[in-house]
Each structure stands twice: as structure tokens, then as C-alpha cells.
Amino acid sequence: MKYSYAQLSTYRDRVADLLLGQDPQLQFLDLDERANSITLGYSGNLESVVARVRRDLALTEQSGDWVRAERVAPARPDTKSYAATSASMLTASSLTGQADTIVAGLVIHRALASGYKGCTLGFTAKRNNVIGFVTNSHCTEDMYGTGGTYNSFGQTFTRTIGTESVDPSGYTCGALPPTECRGADAAFIQSNGAVPYRIGFIAKPSSRNTGNLTVSLSDPYIRIASTGTAVAGMTVEKIGAVTGWTSGAVTHTCVTAMIQEDSWFKRVACADKALYAAENGDSGSPVFLWLPYNPSEGGVQAGLLGIHSSGEIEGNSKYFSRIDRIESDLGGSWEYLGPVPPSPLQAHIWGWTDVLASGSCQLIYSAHATGGAGGYSFSSMTTDGVIVSTGSNSITVAFPSAGSHWVSVTVTDAASTVSTATFTVQADGTNFECYGAPPGNPF
């Protein structure tokens, strides 16, 4: 490559000093590793802005070939307005339904003086051991701040689930227009304890890239197993309360991006850009990498990358705030990964499989359990259907008659899950030392 990362970093800073906060048509600024350039996302004349950079930095066309521009439209936050008389929510098996447990991807509302503003819950978490969730700062009344009156969020129009508690002020990063910057468009909403939260899970629509909002109650969640950082070309996933589960390729990483509405301009100092579908009401949606299916760890898993923030008013380009910048912006210690589900409860029996068909062999059979919720209790052990022991995990038995016999055990764990194992014993003429238990206990 012609330019090193260190050189491009210096060039980016020079362009930022020149244009950032000075030119309202500059929508994003990117140190573009793939193009080995500084890329300007610009809504005006591309040739003129490139020429201006070269002129003001005293560069020729050759010495300034590291600057390029691409046409983009201004980005708007993807919030949704609802009238005060809006109809009630859909069923509980939908991203827009009243859920009995709060997870990522569900619809959230903030009551206004008249009506509501709708967004999507980004991810549930513990911040400094306080339970709550993260969504966009622009979903709150005061983007980059905790001021204002209407700071409570509901999961439906009538049920409040939390109140904004952490949303730091930004720093001034331009005069034209007056602009405030932060590393991430994010705020932490503290739970009010009214509804249980499940940390580390995303509501899972039953299909992808179809607009479907239905959640299958037999397979309702995606577990957040890890976090990560997006790279250009990677396919990322987004689950939002309006467009559901969509996906698309990352086009730019860690750009300085403008977000604007009629009355304000804000910038995110390090946002990623991708081509997934999103509409008004999807603000705050979790953005993640779809990890390989792993049935032993709960099936479908996600590597959390961040939360959706805004989209260009023309085309499909969207911006999302990165998880590392969310953590550093909001500060504190974080827990937001989903626990690995326990393996299923399984009962086991260990003992002799072949015994003498006659005589007085006294044989030990032991019961054991794995998986489940622990706290095992052995309610019964039987031989040939006859209960020999209750409450114990070991029995001593004799099998005087030839043929097949069986030993069984029933075990219950702390979650009241029950498992039964059956062990077949063949009585024949095999000679062995027929007292006690066989060697090599596998448990």
C-alpha cells in the first residue's frame, strides 16, 4: 500500500481540522483502510470538496491523491412517533408485544407531553451491578444529556420499565452548524423492577430478511455469547421492532458521522456503516455477528457489535454505534453476555453387565447424574421393576436366574427436572469375581 496507517491517521486529523464542524455537507469522515485513503462522505459537489482539501492543505493532485469523496445523503435518527390514542400492542409473541421478560430487540416507548416516541431496546445489561438496558441517546429527551422531563421508558404504552440514568454530555466539535460529539449514540436506562430482565439475550424473529416480527415461543432467543469489532465486508445482523431481522455488509468502520434532525446536529466520533434495512422505530436495535450454531451452548448465538443509530435519508446505508465505544462512553463495569445454558439432566448407572446365572453374587450398582440444575436427589432405584432403595444412589443386588434383568434409577435436580436411566444386566455362565463393583468407575 502507498500510505501507512500512521500517515493516513495524520491526514485524517488534518482534514478534520479543516472541514469537521465547518462544512455542514460533510456527513462522515473515514480513514478508509481498504481504499488506502481518507474518504469524505459528502452531500454536495464531490469534485469541489476534494479540490478544496488539496488547495487548503497546499497539495497537488499527486501529493493529495489520498483524499477521495463519495456521495451520501444526510443521516436521520430512526425514531418513530405515535399518537396518544395509538392502538394497543400486538400479541406477546411479537417484537412489538408486551413481553413477560425484557430482552434486546423489543419495542420501547418514551411518553411525551402528547403521544410517544418509539425505539428498540439495544441490549439488557448490568452496569456497575445495576440492571437496565442500552438504547440510543437520541431516543431520550436530551441527546447527550439527562436533562428534560420525559425520561421514562415503557415496553408498551401503559407499562413503564425504566428511567434514563446515564447519558453523558458531549464535547464541542464544530461551529457550522453548532455540533456536539461523543464516541457513541447511547444511553443507559435503569430498570424500575416492574418487569424481569434477562441479561444477554435477543428476541429472535422466526425468519430473517422478511420483515417478520413474530417470535416463536418454542425458540424465542439468541444468546449474546461474545462481543466483537466489525470489519469492512463483514455481514452483520440487526433485529429491530419495525423491520425485524435484517442483514447487510459493512462498508466503512470507525467513521466520524453526522446525525441531524430539524433542530439539532450531533456527531458520533467512531461509528460503523453498513447496508442492512432499518426504518423509523428501529433506533437502538442490536447489531451483531451471527455465530455458528452450537446446540450445547443454546443454539443460535450472537457476537454483539453495537446498536443501530441512524440511516441516510436516501439509500440503504445505516450507522451503528460500536460496543467498545458504548462501554467507554457510558463508563463503569459491564455484564451483558448471556450465560451458557446447562446441559440437560441425565441419569446414569454404573455396575456389572454380565453376571453368573446361579449362586449368590452380591453386586453393587451406583447411580450418578450430570447436567441440569444440580442439587440431585435419587428418588428410587429398582431391579426388575421392584424398588430396592429410595433416597440412595447405591444398591447391592443378586441375580439368581438366567436371562436379562435390569436396574433403573430416577433422579430429580434442583429445578424439579426428572431423568430416568435403565441398565440391562445379562445373567449367564460368565465366570468372574462376583462381589462388589467392577473396576474403573467412570464417574
pLDDT digits 0-9 by tens, 383-441 = 887 877 778 888 877 765 777 888 889 999 988 999 999 888 777 655 444 555 565 56
Mean pLDDT, rounded, for 159-166: 92
CA distance 112 to 171: 27
Per-residue pLDDT for 254 more than 60?
yes
Q: Give Cα 441 distance to the centre of its chain.
A: 42
List pLDDT tens digits, range 179-220: 788 999 999 999 999 999 999 999 999 999 999 999 988 888
Question: Mean pLDDT over residues 361-365, rounded?
Answer: 75
Highest mean pLDDT among 25-39, 76-90, 371-385 belongs to 25-39
Total residue count of the chain as it appears in this document: 443
Q: Is the pLDDT of residue 163 over 90?
A: yes
pLDDT at position 431 is 47
Write the DSSP string, 139-186.
GSSSTTS--SS--EEESSSS-EEEEEEE----EEEEETTEEEEES-S-
Q: How many CB atoms lie within 10 A of CB 343?
A: 11
Banded pLDDT at 355 (limits 50, 70, 90):
low
C-alpha 26/C-alpha 259 separation (Å) is 11
The CB density around residue 149, as the number of other CB atoms within 10 Å, is 10
On whether the CB atoms of residues 274 and 316 are closer than 8 A, the answer is no
Given a cut of 90, whether residue 66 has pLDDT beyond it is yes
* Residues whose CB is less than 8 angstroms from the CB of residue 401 and which lie 6 or more positions away in sequence, other chains included: 357, 427
DSSP-derived pairing of the beta strands 318-322 and 299-312: antiparallel
Residue with cell 428501529: 282
**pLDDT given at position 87:** 38
Q: What is the mean pLDDT of the chain?
A: 86
**pLDDT tier, 175 (very low <50, low <70, confident <90, very high otherwise):** low
Beta carbons within 10 angstroms of residue 207's beta carbon:
13
pTM: 0.79
Q: How confident is the model at residue 358 (pLDDT cuts 50, 70, 90)?
A: low
What's the pLDDT band for 99 if we cut at 50, 70, 90? confident
Alpha-carbon distance of 60 to 41, in angstroms, equals 21
Q: What is the mean pLDDT of residues 98-110?
A: 91
Q: Give residue 83's pLDDT band: very low, low, confident or very high (50, 70, 90).
A: low
Phi, psi of 160 (to 5 degrees): -85, 135
Give 3-state DSSP helix, strand, coil % of the chain, rounded to 5. 10, 50, 45
Average pLDDT over residues 277-290: 95
Q: What is the dihedral of CA 171, 175, 179, 180, to 10 degrees?
A: 0
pLDDT digit string, tens, across residues 4-39: 999 999 999 889 888 877 788 899 999 998 899 999
| pLDDT score of 223 more than 70 | yes
What is the rounded CA–CA span in Å between residue 260 and residue 268? 11
User: Is the per-residue pLDDT at 84 higher than 60?
Assistant: no
Q: Residue 341: which pLDDT band, with cuts at 50, 70 and 90?
A: confident
Identify any residues that bridge with 108 across adjacent strands, giving them in sequence order. Answer: 119
SS3 25: coil
- Return the number of other C-beta atoms located less than 10 Å from residue 247's C-beta: 18
Q: What's the rounded mean pLDDT across residues 158-162?
A: 87
Q: Is the pLDDT of residue 78 over 90?
A: no
Is residue 6 a contact partner of residue 36, using CB atoms and an 8 Å limit?
no
- The neighbour count for residue 438, using CB atoms within 10 Å, is 15
